Chains A and B, each alone.
Chain A
Amino acid sequence: MITLGEFALWIALPVTIWGMVLGFVGGRTQRGDLVLSAERSVYAVTFLLALASAGVIAAFLGDRFEYWYVASYSNRELETFYKVAGLWAGQRGSLLFWAVLLSVFSSITMAMNRRRNREFMPYVAGVLQTILAFFVIVLLFADVNPFERLGFTPANGQGLNPQLQNYWMSIHPPTLYLGFTAFTIPFAFAVAALLNGRLDARWIQLTRKWTLLSWFFLSVGIILGMRWAYEELGWGGYWFWDPVENASLLPWLTATAFLHSIMIQENRGMLKVWNMSLVLLTFLLTVFATFLTRSGLIESVHSFAQELRIAYIFLSFMGLVLGGSIVLIVYRLPSLQSENRIESFLSRESAFLFNNLILLGAAFAVFWGTIFPLVAEGVTGQAVSVGPPFFQKVNFPIGLALLALAGIGPVIAWRRATRRNLQKNFLTPVVTAVAAAAALWLMGARHPLALTTWGIGVFVLVIIATEFWKGTRARARIEGEGVARALYHLVARNRRRWGGYIVHVGMVMVFMAFAGAAYNVDVRQHMVPGDTVTVSSPFGHEYKLTYQGLSVSSGRAQRNLLWQAIALVSVEEDGRSLGNMTTEKRMYTTSEQWMTEVGIRSSGLEDLYLILSAVDDLQGALNADSSAQGIDLQVLVKPLVGWIWLGGLILAGGSLISLWPSSERRRLEARREEAEEPVPAGVS
Chain B
Amino acid sequence: MPFVFGAVLVTLAIVLFLLQPVTKGLHASLEREEDELTETEARKRVALLALRDVEYDFLSGKLDEQDYRSLKGELTAEALAALEADEEARSPGTGALAELEAEIAAARAEMQGGVPCEVCGFTNAVASRFCSACGSPLPAPATG
A592 at the interface (CB under 8 A from B): no
Q: Which residues of chain B from 1 to 37 have a CB within 8 Å of any chain A CB?
A: 3, 6-7, 10-11, 14, 17-22, 25-37
- Among B49-57, B90-98, B130-138, the one that faces the other chain is B49-57
In the assembled complex, the Cα of A33 lies from the Cα of B27 at a distance in Å of: 4
A478 at the interface (CB under 8 A from B): yes
Chain B residues near A34 (CB-CB < 8 A): 21-22
Contact A421 B67 (CB under 8 A): yes
Chain A interface main SS type: helix
B100 at the interface (CB under 8 A from A): no
A493 at the interface (CB under 8 A from B): yes
Shortest distance between the CB of A350 and any CB in chain B (Å): 15
Of A3, A470, A478, which contacts B61 at CB under 8 A?
A470
Question: How many residues of A are in contact with the other chain, CB < 8 A?
Answer: 66
Of B10, B27, B46, which contacts A8 at CB under 8 A?
B10
Chain B residues near A39 (CB-CB < 8 A): 28
In the assembled complex, the Cα of A359 lies from the Cα of B62 at a distance in Å of: 27
Chain B residues near A471 (CB-CB < 8 A): 60
A380 at the interface (CB under 8 A from B): no
Question: How many residues of B are in contact with the other chain, CB < 8 A?
Answer: 51
Contact B42 A269 (CB under 8 A): yes
A32 at the interface (CB under 8 A from B): yes
A514 at the interface (CB under 8 A from B): no
Of A119, A413, A470, A476, which contacts B32 at CB under 8 A?
A119
Q: Given A119-B30, A267-B49, decide whether A44 and B14 contact each other with a Cβ distance below 8 A.
A: yes
Contact B62 A37 (CB under 8 A): no
In the assembled complex, the Cα of A117 lies from the Cα of B42 at a distance in Å of: 19
Chain A residues near B14 (CB-CB < 8 A): 11, 15, 44, 47-48
Contact A474 B18 (CB under 8 A): no
Q: Provide the A32-50 mask, 1 if CB < 8 A to any CB of B, else 0.
A: 1111110111011001100
Chain B residues near A51 (CB-CB < 8 A): 10
Chain B residues near A339 (CB-CB < 8 A): 42-43, 46
A553 at the interface (CB under 8 A from B): no
A121 at the interface (CB under 8 A from B): yes
In the assembled complex, the Cα of A482 lies from the Cα of B143 at a distance in Å of: 10
Contact A32 B141 (CB under 8 A): no
In the assembled complex, the Cα of A487 lies from the Cα of B45 at a distance in Å of: 29
A115 at the interface (CB under 8 A from B): yes
Contact A200 B37 (CB under 8 A): yes
B105 at the interface (CB under 8 A from A): no
A674 at the interface (CB under 8 A from B): no
Of B21, B29, B36, B37, which contacts A115 at CB under 8 A?
B29
- Among A441-449, A454-462, A620-628, A676-684, the one that faces the other chain is A676-684
What are 25 A-to-B residue pairs whose CB atoms are below 8 Å? Answer: A7-B3, A11-B10, A27-B30, A30-B30, A32-B26, A32-B29, A33-B26, A35-B28, A39-B28, A43-B17, A116-B33, A119-B33, A268-B46, A269-B42, A414-B57, A418-B67, A420-B66, A474-B113, A477-B126, A478-B112, A478-B113, A478-B141, A478-B142, A479-B142, A680-B35
Residue positions of B touching A, CB distance < 8 A:
3, 6-7, 10-11, 14, 17-22, 25-37, 42-43, 45-46, 49-50, 53-54, 57, 59-64, 66-67, 71, 112-113, 115, 126, 141-144
Closest 5 CB pairs of A and B: A32-B27, A36-B28, A480-B142, A36-B21, A680-B35
Residue positions of A touching B, CB distance < 8 A:
3-4, 7-8, 11, 15, 18, 26-27, 30, 32-37, 39-41, 43-44, 47-48, 51, 115-119, 121-122, 198, 200-202, 266-269, 339-340, 411, 413-415, 418, 420-421, 424-425, 467, 470-471, 474-480, 482, 493, 678, 680-681, 683
